Protein backbone atom coordinates (compact mmCIF):
# COMPACT_ATOMS: atom_id res chain seq x y z
CA UNK A 1 0.00 0.00 0.00
CA UNK A 2 1.57 3.30 -1.02
CA UNK A 3 0.64 6.89 -0.57
CA UNK A 4 -2.96 7.58 -1.61
CA UNK A 5 -3.55 11.12 -2.81
CA UNK A 6 -7.13 12.21 -2.84
CA UNK A 7 -8.95 15.47 -3.15
CA UNK A 8 -8.19 17.91 -0.35
CA UNK A 9 -10.24 17.53 2.80
CA UNK A 10 -11.62 14.15 1.88
CA UNK A 11 -13.90 12.72 4.54
CA UNK A 12 -14.00 8.98 4.18
CA UNK A 13 -16.79 8.30 6.62
CA UNK A 14 -14.82 6.02 8.94
CA UNK A 15 -15.56 6.46 12.59
CA UNK A 16 -12.83 6.55 15.20
CA UNK A 17 -14.58 3.82 17.20
CA UNK A 18 -14.00 1.36 14.36
CA UNK A 19 -10.27 1.80 14.49
CA UNK A 20 -7.84 -0.64 16.03
CA UNK A 21 -5.38 0.87 18.46
CA UNK A 22 -1.71 -0.01 18.17
CA UNK A 23 -0.03 1.18 21.32
CA UNK A 24 3.29 -0.51 20.86
CA UNK A 25 5.46 2.26 19.31
CA UNK A 26 7.64 -0.03 17.19
CA UNK A 27 4.73 -2.00 15.77
CA UNK A 28 2.93 1.25 15.05
CA UNK A 29 5.96 2.77 13.33
CA UNK A 30 6.49 -0.29 11.13
CA UNK A 31 2.83 -0.24 10.16
CA UNK A 32 3.02 3.49 9.39
CA UNK A 33 6.09 2.88 7.23
CA UNK A 34 4.17 0.30 5.22
CA UNK A 35 1.35 2.78 4.68
CA UNK A 36 3.19 6.08 4.31
CA UNK A 37 6.75 5.25 3.33
CA UNK A 38 8.54 5.23 0.02
CA UNK A 39 11.14 2.49 -0.55
CA UNK A 40 14.66 3.30 0.57
CA UNK A 41 17.02 4.55 -2.08
CA UNK A 42 19.91 2.10 -2.02
CA UNK A 43 22.44 3.47 -4.47
CA UNK A 44 23.40 6.38 -2.29
CA UNK A 45 25.49 7.55 0.66
CA UNK A 46 23.96 8.00 4.11
CA UNK A 47 25.31 9.51 7.30
CA UNK A 48 26.26 6.75 9.75
CA UNK A 49 27.53 8.96 12.58
CA UNK A 50 29.26 12.16 13.48
CA UNK A 51 33.02 11.68 13.18
CA UNK A 52 33.35 12.87 16.79
CA UNK A 53 31.20 9.97 18.04
CA UNK A 54 34.07 7.64 17.23
CA UNK A 55 37.34 8.31 19.03
CA UNK A 56 40.53 6.45 18.02
CA UNK A 57 40.34 2.91 19.40
CA UNK A 58 36.54 3.01 19.81
CA UNK A 59 33.73 0.89 18.36
CA UNK A 60 30.10 1.91 17.86
CA UNK A 61 27.21 -0.38 16.95
CA UNK A 62 24.47 1.29 14.93
CA UNK A 63 21.64 -0.25 12.94
CA UNK A 64 21.63 1.43 9.52
CA UNK A 65 19.05 0.62 6.85
CA UNK A 66 18.08 -2.48 8.79
CA UNK A 67 21.64 -3.79 9.07
CA UNK A 68 23.65 -3.86 12.31
CA UNK A 69 26.96 -2.16 11.58
CA UNK A 70 30.07 -1.75 13.68
CA UNK A 71 31.82 1.56 13.13
CA UNK A 72 35.36 1.53 14.47
CA UNK A 73 38.41 3.73 14.38
CA UNK A 74 42.00 2.54 14.36
CA UNK A 75 44.45 3.86 16.93
CA UNK A 76 45.89 5.96 14.09
CA UNK A 77 42.46 7.51 13.40
CA UNK A 78 41.12 5.75 10.29
CA UNK A 79 37.38 4.92 10.48
CA UNK A 80 35.83 1.74 9.04
CA UNK A 81 32.42 0.08 8.88
CA UNK A 82 31.79 -3.69 8.93
CA UNK A 83 28.72 -5.83 9.41
CA UNK A 84 28.53 -6.18 13.15
CA UNK A 85 29.13 -9.92 13.29
CA UNK A 86 32.13 -12.09 13.56
CA UNK A 87 32.21 -14.74 10.82
CA UNK A 88 33.43 -17.32 13.34
CA UNK A 89 30.35 -17.66 15.56
CA UNK A 90 28.44 -14.42 14.97
CA UNK A 91 29.42 -12.49 18.09
CA UNK A 92 29.05 -8.70 17.67
CA UNK A 93 32.36 -7.16 16.67
CA UNK A 94 31.19 -3.97 18.40
CA UNK A 95 31.97 -5.81 21.66
CA UNK A 96 35.50 -6.19 20.36
CA UNK A 97 38.73 -4.34 21.06
CA UNK A 98 40.69 -2.15 18.66
CA UNK A 99 44.36 -3.10 18.61
CA UNK A 100 47.38 -2.20 16.46
CA UNK A 101 46.59 -5.08 14.08
CA UNK A 102 42.85 -4.40 13.76
CA UNK A 103 39.55 -5.10 15.48
CA UNK A 104 39.70 -8.15 17.75
CA UNK A 105 36.50 -10.13 18.40
CA UNK A 106 36.38 -10.55 22.16
CA UNK A 107 34.70 -13.95 22.01
CA UNK A 108 37.50 -16.18 20.67
CA UNK A 109 40.01 -13.54 19.65
CA UNK A 110 40.02 -13.38 15.84
CA UNK A 111 41.34 -10.08 14.49
CA UNK A 112 39.90 -8.26 11.44
CA UNK A 113 41.23 -5.46 9.28
CA UNK A 114 39.26 -2.53 7.84
CA UNK A 115 38.29 -4.63 4.81
CA UNK A 116 36.73 -7.25 7.11
CA UNK A 117 39.41 -9.90 6.47
CA UNK A 118 40.65 -12.06 9.30
CA UNK A 119 44.29 -11.09 9.88
CA UNK A 120 44.95 -12.82 13.18
CA UNK A 121 43.91 -15.86 15.21
CA UNK A 122 45.34 -16.89 18.57
CA UNK A 123 45.26 -20.66 18.06
CA UNK A 124 46.50 -21.17 14.49
CA UNK A 125 49.52 -20.31 12.49
CA UNK A 126 47.61 -20.47 9.20
CA UNK A 127 44.92 -17.84 8.93
CA UNK A 128 41.44 -19.20 8.22
CA UNK A 129 39.76 -17.79 5.13
CA UNK A 130 37.16 -15.86 7.09
CA UNK A 131 35.80 -12.38 6.53
CA UNK A 132 32.86 -10.19 7.41
CA UNK A 133 31.31 -7.84 4.82
CA UNK A 134 32.88 -4.39 4.75
CA UNK A 135 30.73 -1.34 4.05
CA UNK A 136 32.36 1.52 2.11
CA UNK A 137 32.91 4.45 4.47
CA UNK A 138 34.17 7.96 3.82
CA UNK A 139 34.82 10.59 6.48
CA UNK A 140 34.07 14.04 5.14
CA UNK A 141 32.91 17.33 6.66
CA UNK A 142 32.83 15.87 10.20
CA UNK A 143 30.47 13.09 9.12
CA UNK A 144 30.97 9.38 8.56
CA UNK A 145 29.22 8.46 5.31
CA UNK A 146 28.40 4.88 4.38
CA UNK A 147 27.44 3.55 0.96
CA UNK A 148 24.12 1.65 1.05
CA UNK A 149 24.40 0.15 -2.45
CA UNK A 150 26.51 -2.70 -3.74
CA UNK A 151 30.12 -2.47 -2.61
CA UNK A 152 32.29 -1.44 -5.54
CA UNK A 153 29.56 0.68 -7.18
CA UNK A 154 30.21 3.71 -4.98
CA UNK A 155 31.38 7.05 -6.26
CA UNK A 156 32.43 9.62 -3.69
CA UNK A 157 31.46 12.46 -6.04
CA UNK A 158 27.82 11.89 -5.04
CA UNK A 159 28.46 12.69 -1.36
CA UNK A 160 26.67 16.02 -0.95
CA UNK A 161 28.47 19.15 0.12
CA UNK A 162 28.29 19.70 3.88
CA UNK A 163 31.43 21.85 4.27
CA UNK A 164 29.69 24.27 6.69
CA UNK A 165 30.25 21.57 9.33
CA UNK A 166 34.04 21.81 9.30
CA UNK A 167 34.83 25.04 7.47
CA UNK A 168 36.75 27.36 9.86
CA UNK A 169 34.54 30.25 8.69
CA UNK A 170 31.53 28.55 10.31
CA UNK A 171 30.84 27.14 13.76
CA UNK A 172 28.12 24.87 15.17
CA UNK A 173 27.66 21.76 17.29
CA UNK A 174 26.68 18.22 16.34
CA UNK A 175 23.08 17.22 17.09
CA UNK A 176 21.28 13.90 16.98
CA UNK A 177 17.67 12.74 17.43
CA UNK A 178 16.33 9.19 17.15
CA UNK A 179 12.78 8.89 15.90
CA UNK A 180 10.27 6.08 16.30
CA UNK A 181 8.88 7.09 12.94
CA UNK A 182 9.53 6.12 9.32
CA UNK A 183 12.00 8.41 7.61
CA UNK A 184 9.47 9.45 4.98
CA UNK A 185 7.30 11.31 7.48
CA UNK A 186 10.37 13.25 8.63
CA UNK A 187 11.33 14.05 5.03
CA UNK A 188 7.75 15.26 4.47
CA UNK A 189 8.12 17.51 7.52
CA UNK A 190 11.43 18.98 6.35
CA UNK A 191 10.03 19.73 2.91
CA UNK A 192 6.96 21.57 4.13
CA UNK A 193 7.83 24.60 6.21
CA UNK A 194 4.21 25.67 6.53
CA UNK A 195 4.36 23.75 9.82
CA UNK A 196 6.63 26.46 11.27
CA UNK A 197 3.56 28.62 11.77
CA UNK A 198 2.00 26.04 14.08
CA UNK A 199 4.54 23.57 15.46
CA UNK A 200 7.36 26.07 16.06
CA UNK A 201 5.53 29.28 16.84
CA UNK A 202 7.48 29.80 20.09
CA UNK A 203 10.88 28.46 18.96
CA UNK A 204 11.90 28.80 15.31
CA UNK A 205 9.17 31.39 14.98
CA UNK A 206 6.86 31.11 12.05
CA UNK A 207 4.30 33.80 11.38
CA UNK A 208 1.14 32.79 9.56
CA UNK A 209 2.96 33.94 6.38
CA UNK A 210 4.81 30.58 6.35
CA UNK A 211 1.51 28.77 5.93
CA UNK A 212 -0.24 31.34 3.74
CA UNK A 213 2.46 32.07 1.19
CA UNK A 214 3.61 29.20 -1.00
CA UNK A 215 7.40 29.12 -1.43
CA UNK A 216 9.24 29.19 -4.74
CA UNK A 217 9.89 25.53 -5.55
CA UNK A 218 12.50 24.44 -8.10
CA UNK A 219 12.33 20.76 -8.99
CA UNK A 220 15.79 19.27 -9.48
CA UNK A 221 16.74 15.93 -11.04
CA UNK A 222 18.15 14.86 -7.69
CA UNK A 223 16.01 16.80 -5.23
CA UNK A 224 14.35 20.12 -4.78
CA UNK A 225 15.14 23.74 -3.91
CA UNK A 226 12.63 25.71 -1.86
CA UNK A 227 12.82 29.48 -1.23
CA UNK A 228 10.93 31.76 1.12
CA UNK A 229 11.32 35.50 1.61
CA UNK A 230 9.19 37.19 4.24
CA UNK A 231 9.29 40.89 4.96
CA UNK A 232 8.46 42.77 8.15
CA UNK A 233 8.67 39.82 10.50
CA UNK A 234 9.64 39.74 14.14
CA UNK A 235 13.03 38.32 15.08
CA UNK A 236 12.45 34.56 15.54
CA UNK A 237 12.47 33.60 19.24
CA UNK A 238 15.58 31.39 18.95
CA UNK A 239 17.61 34.31 17.54
CA UNK A 240 16.39 37.08 19.85
CA UNK A 241 19.41 36.82 22.14
CA UNK A 242 21.99 36.90 19.31
CA UNK A 243 20.49 39.34 16.81
CA UNK A 244 22.12 42.77 16.86
CA UNK A 245 18.89 44.36 15.68
CA UNK A 246 15.32 44.11 16.87
CA UNK A 247 12.35 43.80 14.50
CA UNK A 248 10.99 44.34 12.03
CA UNK A 249 13.20 42.14 9.91
CA UNK A 250 13.28 40.40 6.53
CA UNK A 251 13.79 36.66 6.61
CA UNK A 252 15.21 34.63 3.73
CA UNK A 253 15.29 30.83 3.72
CA UNK A 254 16.63 28.86 0.80
CA UNK A 255 16.98 25.13 1.20
CA UNK A 256 17.98 22.17 -0.91
CA UNK A 257 16.99 18.58 -0.33
CA UNK A 258 19.19 16.01 -2.07
CA UNK A 259 18.08 12.41 -2.53
CA UNK A 260 21.80 11.55 -2.64
CA UNK A 261 22.72 11.75 1.01
CA UNK A 262 19.11 12.15 2.19
CA UNK A 263 20.14 15.60 3.31
CA UNK A 264 18.75 19.06 3.82
CA UNK A 265 21.01 22.09 3.39
CA UNK A 266 19.43 25.34 4.61
CA UNK A 267 20.75 28.83 3.96
CA UNK A 268 18.99 31.22 6.34
CA UNK A 269 19.45 34.98 6.71
CA UNK A 270 17.71 37.71 8.68
CA UNK A 271 18.36 41.44 8.30
CA UNK A 272 16.61 44.74 9.06
CA UNK A 273 13.36 45.08 7.12
CA UNK A 274 13.66 46.31 3.56
CA UNK A 275 17.27 45.15 3.06
CA UNK A 276 17.02 41.49 1.95
CA UNK A 277 16.12 40.09 -1.44
CA UNK A 278 16.50 36.67 -3.06
CA UNK A 279 19.74 37.85 -4.66
CA UNK A 280 21.17 40.43 -2.29
CA UNK A 281 21.82 40.67 1.40
CA UNK A 282 23.47 43.41 3.44
CA UNK A 283 26.65 42.85 5.43
CA UNK A 284 24.61 43.26 8.60
CA UNK A 285 22.60 40.08 7.81
CA UNK A 286 22.80 37.26 10.32
CA UNK A 287 23.56 33.95 8.57
CA UNK A 288 23.07 30.33 9.51
CA UNK A 289 23.55 27.30 7.33
CA UNK A 290 21.86 24.26 8.82
CA UNK A 291 22.67 20.74 7.68
CA UNK A 292 20.26 17.90 8.51
CA UNK A 293 20.62 14.32 7.31
CA UNK A 294 18.36 11.31 7.80
CA UNK A 295 19.29 7.64 7.78
CA UNK A 296 16.70 4.89 8.25
CA UNK A 297 17.45 2.63 11.20
CA UNK A 298 14.56 0.29 10.41
CA UNK A 299 11.31 0.65 8.45
CA UNK A 300 9.83 2.45 11.44
CA UNK A 301 12.78 4.22 13.06
CA UNK A 302 15.18 6.88 11.88
CA UNK A 303 18.49 8.52 12.79
CA UNK A 304 18.46 12.29 12.42
CA UNK A 305 21.80 14.15 12.39
CA UNK A 306 21.66 17.94 12.49
CA UNK A 307 23.70 21.06 13.10
CA UNK A 308 23.21 24.81 12.85
CA UNK A 309 26.51 26.40 11.79
CA UNK A 310 26.72 30.23 11.84
CA UNK A 311 29.30 32.60 10.39
CA UNK A 312 29.54 35.11 13.27
CA UNK A 313 30.83 35.11 16.87
CA UNK A 314 32.94 32.11 15.91
CA UNK A 315 34.75 31.86 19.23
CA UNK A 316 31.71 32.34 21.44
CA UNK A 317 30.93 28.89 22.82
CA UNK A 318 28.08 30.26 24.92
CA UNK A 319 26.22 31.27 21.74
CA UNK A 320 26.92 27.85 20.22
CA UNK A 321 25.38 26.10 23.21
CA UNK A 322 22.45 28.51 23.43
CA UNK A 323 21.49 28.19 19.74
CA UNK A 324 21.94 24.45 19.87
CA UNK A 325 19.62 24.19 22.86
CA UNK A 326 16.98 26.41 21.24
CA UNK A 327 16.95 24.41 18.01
CA UNK A 328 16.94 21.10 19.92
CA UNK A 329 13.74 22.32 21.63
CA UNK A 330 12.21 22.96 18.22
CA UNK A 331 13.20 19.50 17.01
CA UNK A 332 11.50 18.00 20.07
CA UNK A 333 8.35 19.73 18.86
CA UNK A 334 8.69 18.00 15.48
CA UNK A 335 9.38 14.66 17.13
CA UNK A 336 6.27 14.86 19.30
CA UNK A 337 4.08 15.64 16.29
CA UNK A 338 5.64 13.14 13.86
CA UNK A 339 5.67 10.24 16.32
CA UNK A 340 2.03 10.97 17.18
CA UNK A 341 1.24 11.11 13.45
CA UNK A 342 3.02 7.75 13.05
CA UNK A 343 0.93 6.09 15.76
CA UNK A 344 -2.21 7.57 14.28
CA UNK A 345 -1.52 6.29 10.77
CA UNK A 346 -1.08 2.82 12.28
CA UNK A 347 -4.19 3.09 14.45
CA UNK A 348 -6.36 4.18 11.55
CA UNK A 349 -4.59 1.70 9.27
CA UNK A 350 -4.51 4.15 6.42
CA UNK A 351 -2.64 7.16 5.07
CA UNK A 352 -5.07 9.14 3.01
CA UNK A 353 -3.66 12.54 2.36
CA UNK A 354 -5.29 15.61 0.96
CA UNK A 355 -2.97 17.51 -1.38
CA UNK A 356 -2.50 21.18 -0.51
CA UNK A 357 -0.08 23.67 -2.11
CA UNK A 358 2.74 23.30 0.48
CA UNK A 359 2.94 19.58 -0.41
CA UNK A 360 4.50 20.32 -3.81
CA UNK A 361 8.14 19.87 -2.79
CA UNK A 362 7.62 16.72 -0.79
CA UNK A 363 5.52 15.08 -3.51
CA UNK A 364 8.33 15.72 -6.00
CA UNK A 365 10.89 14.13 -3.68
CA UNK A 366 8.64 11.13 -2.99
CA UNK A 367 8.37 10.62 -6.75
CA UNK A 368 12.14 10.84 -7.22
CA UNK A 369 12.76 8.32 -4.42
CA UNK A 370 10.28 5.86 -5.92
CA UNK A 371 11.82 6.21 -9.39
CA UNK A 372 15.32 5.83 -8.03
CA UNK A 373 14.57 2.68 -6.02
CA UNK A 374 12.60 1.16 -8.93
CA UNK A 375 15.59 1.73 -11.20
CA UNK A 376 17.91 -0.06 -8.79
CA UNK A 377 15.59 -3.04 -8.36
CA UNK A 378 15.32 -3.39 -12.17
CA UNK A 379 19.10 -3.60 -12.53
CA UNK A 380 19.73 -6.02 -9.66
S1 LIG B 1 32.76 -15.44 17.53
FE2 LIG B 1 34.34 -14.10 17.09
S3 LIG B 1 36.14 -15.20 17.44
FE4 LIG B 1 34.52 -16.58 17.81
FE1 LIG C 1 9.98 21.40 12.16
- The residue whose CB lies within 8 Å of the most ligand 1 atoms, and thus the one to mutate among 87, 102, 107, 128, is 107
Nearest atom of ligand 1 to the alpha carbon of 89: 1
DSSP line for 142-183: TEEEEE-S-TT---GGGSPP-GGGT-TT-B---EEEEESS-H
Instruction: For residue 78, count other CB atoms closer than 10 A to its CB.
Output: 12
Per-residue pLDDT of 46-57, as tens digits, reads: 999 999 999 999
d(CA 170, CA 353): 39
Please tell me the distance from the alpha carbon of residue 147 to that of residue 375, in angstroms, as a whole number.
17
Q: What are phi and psi of 200, to 5 degrees?
A: -115, 25
* pLDDT value, residue 374: 80
Instruction: Work out the average pLDDT over 175-203.
Output: 94
Spell out the residues 6+ positions from residue 197 whose beta carbon is closer than 8 angstroms to its own: 206, 207, 208, 209, 210, 211
The pLDDT of residue 25 is 75
Q: Tens digits of per-residue pLDDT, 136-177?
A: 999 999 999 999 999 899 999 999 999 999 999 999 999 999
Tell me the average pLDDT of the chain.
90
Question: From the CA of 283, how far away is ligand 2's center (Å)?
Answer: 28
**Span 233-245, pLDDT tens digits:** 988 888 888 888 7
Greater pLDDT, 19 or 378: 378
> Closest Cα partner for 3 from 357, 355, 379?
355
Neighbours of 19 (CB within 10 A): 14
Output the residue whose Cα is nearest ligand 1's atom 3: 108
- Report the pLDDT value the prediction gives residue 245, as an integer from 0 to 100: 79
- The reported pLDDT for the residue numbered 380 is 53
Rg (CA), the chain: 23
pLDDT of 272 over the 50 cut: yes
Across the strands, what pairs with 138?
A: 145
Residue 20 confidence (pLDDT):
42
Amino acid sequence: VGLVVTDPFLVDGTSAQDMPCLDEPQAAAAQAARLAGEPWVRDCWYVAAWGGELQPGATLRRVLLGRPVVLWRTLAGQAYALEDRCPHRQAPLSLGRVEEAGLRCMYHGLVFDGGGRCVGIPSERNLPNLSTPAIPLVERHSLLWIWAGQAGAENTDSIPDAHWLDDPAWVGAPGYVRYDAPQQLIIDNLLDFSHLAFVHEATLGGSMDWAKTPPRVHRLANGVTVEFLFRNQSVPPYLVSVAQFSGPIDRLTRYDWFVDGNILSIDHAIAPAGTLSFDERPSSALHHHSVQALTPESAGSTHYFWSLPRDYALKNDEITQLLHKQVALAFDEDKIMIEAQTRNIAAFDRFITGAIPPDLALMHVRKLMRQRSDRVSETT
